[in-house]
Amino acid sequence: MKREQKEQVVDELTQRLKAAETLLVADYRGLTMPQIDELRTRLIESGARFTVVKNTLTRRAAEAAGADALLALLDGPSAIAFLEADGDMVAAAKALADSARETNVLEIRGGIMQGRAVTAEEVETLAKLPPEEVLRGQVLGAIVAPLTALAGLLNAPLQNLVGLIDARIEQLGGEESEQTPEPEAEAEATTEDAPPEEAPASEEEAAEATPEADATASGDQEEPAEESSPEESSEEE
């Protein structure tokens, strides 16, 4: 490779290292070209580009880009998966982990994630996570669940208050219906409470009228007793 070509490769790697926030490094020794092509296709689907690099040129690019954490991973034949801005790091890690398990040749060395160096074990753990869509749903559920619970706690007193008010209204309505007498009961109560007829007054008038009648009758009986018989008048003569 000519000097100009090497400088061009270093410049390209430097720009890609600066732009990529996440990259994964693997040792590809032993992989066949069809296996490399298959892995490259899987990584493209996850939003990552798989590139076989020369360590000497990559070290120069890493130093120029300020990616010092990458220097420790450049030991032996290296290939780097550069994650694009809209790429799925979980899917890229899963593609590398699946290829390593299927071929028993590919070896994951580690990587850089959000500017922080990660080990091969961390990449394997990342590969076991659910897909990005599922993770987003889980995170959203974790955020919404406390808010829903809080809303339920805030609404519970209001619902209880409404229930108490309804129960009190029903209770007052039942008491009013019990206190209101029926028409027949009112009529009976009116009949029972009516004052009796003035029978004693008539009895008193009858009692006052009776002595007068007796006196009149006795007067009528005494008048015949004063008359003398004809015989008594003849003897006196």
| pTM reported for the whole predicted model | 0.55
Q: Which residues contact 14 (CB under 8 A, 6 or more apart)?
A: 61, 64, 65
Length of the chain: 237
Summarised one tens digit per residue, pLDDT across range 30-89 is: 999 999 999 999 999 999 999 998 999 999 998 988 888 898 899 888 999 999 888 888
Summarised one tens digit per residue, pLDDT across range 104-133 is: 999 999 999 887 889 999 999 989 887 666
